[in-house]
Amino acid sequence: MPEVLAYACDDKTAQFHPTTITRREPGPTEVYFDIVYAGICHSDIHTARGEWGSVLYPLVPGHELAGVVRQVGSEVTRFAVGDHVGVGCFVDSCGHCPECERGEEQFCSGEGGTIWTYNCVGRDGVPTAGGYSQGITVEQDYVCRIPDAIDLKVAAPLMCAGITLYSPLKRWGAGPGKRVAIVGMGGLGHVGVQIASALGAEVAVISHTRSKEADGRRFGAVEFHALSEPGTLKRLAKSFDLIVSTVSADSDLDALLGCLKVGGVLVDVGLPEHPTTFRLGSLVGTNRVLAGSNIGGIPQTQEMLDFCAEHGIAPQVEVISGDDITAAYDRVVNSQVRYRYVIDTATFAR
């Protein structure tokens, strides 16, 4: 059984320390790959800090994995040793319920449901452990191919941040002639600006302050708005066809809904700790839609990777070591990261 180095935390204080975990030998249809880089998603932080409920400690988070295949099972057809691959938020599902058949394995309604990459129990009865580790064994159907044009360190964040923005932008028709606003330009948001712009939409960023304006325009935004400037959302009344909010803290949904044109759509992908409310009148009076969106399935994740390769879309990353993870969490929460921390697992030492 492969033993790998990892970083774990033991309680809600989310203090990370080196550890060793055991991965299973790949079965006939499984691949084992060396994780080279793992992104830090804000969801890792919500989970590790207990903001979303119960946690299986010790916790090895990480659902933005990119690496190189080291071993394949005897019946693996889709991958070979040396291939560049990625894994996102889930590592297994039933494979034959209506949702899995549709390629939306994140909504698996079959026995056992979706098996999340960490903070879950796998079909082998062992708690899952995520990407803050040097290797993982996964069923080949839950692994994506990373195109040669995408460097592994920028591929990692695409496995969650990329698909989480690509999916609603596609579903709700971001494209030529559409005015699209991305609220919160963090890990998810900065990839969303690039994807929406590549899809041909006219993109605006709505951020706390103007500190990220130059970057936002470099990522493809043609407008940049700061919530810190009084009256910003009032000025933007009835401006957008589509708004995607990635804000990780409480936000004023009524004010954001007011920025939609008649019949416009606000998709919220952020999951703050506390419940957020809104007035039904903000929807009913103008046929507006408030929607959620949860990552994306494997076929669409592969489509997103190929789209990013074709359009030169690349998350902007800061590479850190295992010992930096604890401090990195605070910097993410304070919006100081530009724009995704990616852990280099070669820095892990016994």
Beta bridge mates, 240: 260
Among 150, 154, 83, 91, which Cα is nearest to 117's? 91
Closer to ligand NAP at the Cβ: 137 or 164?
164
Q: Name the residue whose CB lies closest to Zn ion.
A: 41
Cβ contact 194:313 at 8 Å:
yes
Q: Does the footprint of ligand NAP cover residue 247 (CB under 6 A)?
A: yes
Binding region for ligand NAP (CB under 6 A) out of 76-84, 230-238, 269-277, 341-349: 269-277
Least distance (Å) between residue 1 CB and ligand NAP: 31
In the region spanning residues 124 to 183, those forming contacts with Zn ion, defined by CB under 5 A, are 160
How open is the CA angle 49-52-55, to the nearest 5 degrees?
65
The residue from 36, 41, 305, 342 that contacts Zn ion (CB under 5 A) is 41
Number of residues that bind ligand NAP (CB under 6 A): 29
User: Which x/- pattern over 64-83 shows residues binding ligand NAP (rule: CB under 6 A)?
Assistant: --------------------
The residue from 186, 258, 264, 315 that contacts ligand NAP (CB under 6 A) is 186
Q: Tokens in use for 76?
A: 């693996």
Strands 144-145 and 65-72: unpaired
CA distances from 121 to 110, 116, 137, 319 (A): 15, 8, 14, 29
User: Where does 92-231 have alpha helices with state H?
Assistant: 98-101, 152-157, 163-171, 187-198, 213-219
Closer to Zn ion at the Cβ: 40 or 253?
40
Q: Which does 260 bind (CB under 5 to 8 A by kind): ligand NAP, Zn ion, none?
A: none
Q: Which does 117 bind (CB under 5 to 8 A by kind): ligand NAP, Zn ion, none?
A: none
Phi, psi angle pair for 254, to nearest 5°? -65, -40
Q: Does the footprint of ligand NAP cover residue 130 (CB under 6 A)?
A: no
Q: How far apart are CA 328 and CA 335, in angstroms?
A: 11
The residue from 5, 14, 36, 41 that contacts ligand NAP (CB under 6 A) is 41
Q: Does the footprint of ligand NAP cover residue 270 (CB under 6 A)?
A: yes
Q: How far apart are CA 44 and CA 329, in angstroms?
A: 9
User: Which x/- pattern over 210-229 shows residues binding Zn ion (rule: CB under 5 A)?
Assistant: --------------------
Binding region for Zn ion (CB under 5 A) out of 34-42, 52-60, 110-118, 334-342: 34-42
The residue from 61, 184, 264, 322 that contacts ligand NAP (CB under 6 A) is 184
Cβ contact 66:36 at 8 Å:
yes
The residue from 19, 35, 43, 150 that contacts ligand NAP (CB under 6 A) is 43
Q: Name the residue whose CB lies closest to ligand NAP.
A: 186
Beta bridge mates, 179: 202
Phi, psi angle pair for 284, to nearest 5°? -65, -45
